[in-house]
């Protein structure tokens, strides 16, 4: 059985039956037939359905936001924003997919060469719990507008969200079986997902999750010679230079650290601050973090909800305690509250050095680490001293200086005087242990198509 738990109250929400092997086989077979028909449909037909899906998301946003908040603890206002963003990405691809995949003509010594973009078939998505709607729609809207079918293995603790998403596709009028969800409990997930990746119906796989999950999926996909896109963990550096607007920097850093209780691969995790402004930055950071209320996700005054699971909170606390034992200083937070729910207070850890858990590991929760840098070169060195390379940010009053640093950072994304975020108009992804491949924009659409060369001799 799959059980979902309210992380704010520790109460059981629901129980679901995991699928048997024969049920999974039926899902895959249905997806194969549906995808074969879907690929022949025009962009206009696909677009009409995707726009209908966007409209349904907007109409039903309160219902779906409530499910998100109940299952993984996100403040209700943030859950609403997540659903609205899903509608945006559906509308974006409905309006742009055809132009993104237009055949390209190339002159080859007077002979026409043609490059076409054809659907692959059925694509498997392995999706996480932290943005249970957005991660799915970010992936599915582009992949389906390209003419593919979708099978999703969602995180078990957001099974209610997974069921709601599948229902939305049917309600919007998409062909039955074109988008399907597999319900697999954690005990069987590694074996079953490995078998699904190897299944001949599956032509490619996309995973959003931990680096460990990405390695496991990529290994299976590689053995089966199937394309994969990995959007994995991060330890994003936010560099604050001595000429930065500190008020802006602190406001953005706090928002980027506490959004979704810090449970995001692109959350700000390491604040690398020039020595000349470190003390002032810390004072302002502390004042700001103390103003953020932690508690019931449905309380409109709450900025930080619970951690999604008890084991995740315990792991976060271990990282903080081990860092303190190694010499780091806890400015605020750092204690598990005596209350129901998997809550963890916004925490600032400073005097952080290499070798400490909060320096090198990804902290998936509301823990901000402050690291001092002596100059620009030192800041770049510290930022790149990580196995991860997803997002990064630079705060400076000098655009030329900030751009110079941005060009030296080992990351898939760099935002100047702004918070790292995913946007349908921009490619999104990482390097190093943060994964490979891209989602969103035209680049994301072309990850899951056959780029075919036709020579007209």
pLDDT tens profile 32-52: 999 999 999 999 999 999 999
Residues 6 or more apart whose Cβ sits within 8 Å of residue 13: 4, 5, 6, 70, 71, 160
Q: Give, in order, the Cα–Cα distances in Å from 304 to each of 78, 301, 378.
A: 10, 9, 32
Residue 185 confidence (pLDDT): 84
β pairing state of 202-208 and 227-231: parallel
pLDDT along the chain (457 residues), means of 10: 97 97 97 98 98 98 98 98 98 98 96 97 98 98 98 97 98 98 86 94 97 94 97 98 98 98 97 98 97 97 98 98 98 97 98 97 98 98 98 98 98 98 98 98 97 95
All structural domains of the chain: 2-232+431-456 (3.40.605.10), 237-416 (3.40.309.10)
pLDDT at 188: 76
Clarify whether 231 is annotated catalytic. yes
Q: What is the pLDDT of residue 352?
A: 98
pTM over 0.75: yes
CA 409 – CA 415 distance, rounded (Å): 11
User: Over the Cα atoms of the chain, what is R_g?
Assistant: 23
Q: Based on the number of CB atoms within 10 Å of its own CB, is 229 exposed (0-12), middle (13-18) or buried (19 or more)?
A: buried
3-state secondary structure of 313: helix
**What pLDDT does 236 receive?**
98
pLDDT of amino acid 151: 98
Torsion of CA 405, 211, 185, 34, to 10 degrees: 70
446 DSSP assignment = G
The answer to whether the beta carbons of residues 153 and 125 sit under 8 Å apart is yes
Strands of 111-119's sheet in order across: 104-108, 111-119, 449-456
Alpha-helical (H) ranges within 366-448 are 376-384, 399-406, 441-445
> Which is nearest to 154 in space by CA: 186, 176, 194?
186
Structure tokens at 252: 């953005």
Judge whether 97 and 91 are in contact, CB under 8 Å. Answer: no
Distance CA 211, CA 435 (A): 8
Taking the C-alpha atoms of residue 281 and residue 180, their distance in angstroms, rounded to an integer, is: 48
Residue 217's pLDDT is 94
Structure tokens at 106: 């190339």
112: which strand partners? 107, 456
pLDDT at residue 74, rounded to an integer: 98
Share of the chain above pLDDT 70, in %: 100
**Lookup: tokens for 452:** 């075919």
Quote the pLDDT of residue 186. 77
Catalytic residue among 231, 282, 372, 447: 231
User: DSSP string of 170-205?
Assistant: HHTTPPTTSEEEE---TTTHHHHHHHHHHSTTEEEE
Measured distance CA(273)–CA(407) in Å, rounded: 18
């Amino acid at each position: 059985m799959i059980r979902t738990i309210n992380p704010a109250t520790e109460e059981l929400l629901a129980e679901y039956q995991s699928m048997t092997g024969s049920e999974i086989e039926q899902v895959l077979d249905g997806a194969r037939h549906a995808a074969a028909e879907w690929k022949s449909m025009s962009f206009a037909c696909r677009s009409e359905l995707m726009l209908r899906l966007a409209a349904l998301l907007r109409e039903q946003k309160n219902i779906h936001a409530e499910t998100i908040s109940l299952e993984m603890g996100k403040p209700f206002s943030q859950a609403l924003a997540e659903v609205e963003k899903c509608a945006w990405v559906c509308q974006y691809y409905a309006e742009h997919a055809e132009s993104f995949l237009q055949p390209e003509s190339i002159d080859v010594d007077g002979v026409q060469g043609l490059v076409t973009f054809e659907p692959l078939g059925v694509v498997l998505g392995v999706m996480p719990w932290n943005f249970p709607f957005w991660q799915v729609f970010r992936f599915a809207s582009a992949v389906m507008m390209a003419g593919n079918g979708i099978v999703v293995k969602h995180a078990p603790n957001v099974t209610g969200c997974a069921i709601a998403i599948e229902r939305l596709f049917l309600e919007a009028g998409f062909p039955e079986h074109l988008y399907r969800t597999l319900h697999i409990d954690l005990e069987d997930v590694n074996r079953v997902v490995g078998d699904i990746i190897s299944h001949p119906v599956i032509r490619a796989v996309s995973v959003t999750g931990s680096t460990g999950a990405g390695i496991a999926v990529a290994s299976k996909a590689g053995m089966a010679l199937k394309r994969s896109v990995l959007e994995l963990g991060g330890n994003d550096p936010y560099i604050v230079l001595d000429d930065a607007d500190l008020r802006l920097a602190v406001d953005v850093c706090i928002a980027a650290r506490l959004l979704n209780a810090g449970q995001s691969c692109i959350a700000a995790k390491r604040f690398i601050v020039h020595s000349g402004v470190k003390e002032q930055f810390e004072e302002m950071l502390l004042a700001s973090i103390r103003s953020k209320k932690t508690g019931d996700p449905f309380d409109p005054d709450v900025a930080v909800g619970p951690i999604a699971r008890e084991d995740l909170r315990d792991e976060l606390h271990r990282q903080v305690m081990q860092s303190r034992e190694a010499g780091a200083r806890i400015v605020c937070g750092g204690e598990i509250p005596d209350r129901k729910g998997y809550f963890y207070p916004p925490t600032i850890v400073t005097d952080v050095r290499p070798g400490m858990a909060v320096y090198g590991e990804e902290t998936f929760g509301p823990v901000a680490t402050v690291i001092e840098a002596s100059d620009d070169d030192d800041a770049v060195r510290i930022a790149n001293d990580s196995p991860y390379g997803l997002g990064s940010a630079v705060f400076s009053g000098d655009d030329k200086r900030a751009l110079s640093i941005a060009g030296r950072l080992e990351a898939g994304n760099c935002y100047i005087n702004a918070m790292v975020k995913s946007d349908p108009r921009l490619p999104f992804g990482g390097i190093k242990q943060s994964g490979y491949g891209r989602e969103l924009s035209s680049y994301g659409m072309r990850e899951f198509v056959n780029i075919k060369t036709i020579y007209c001799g």
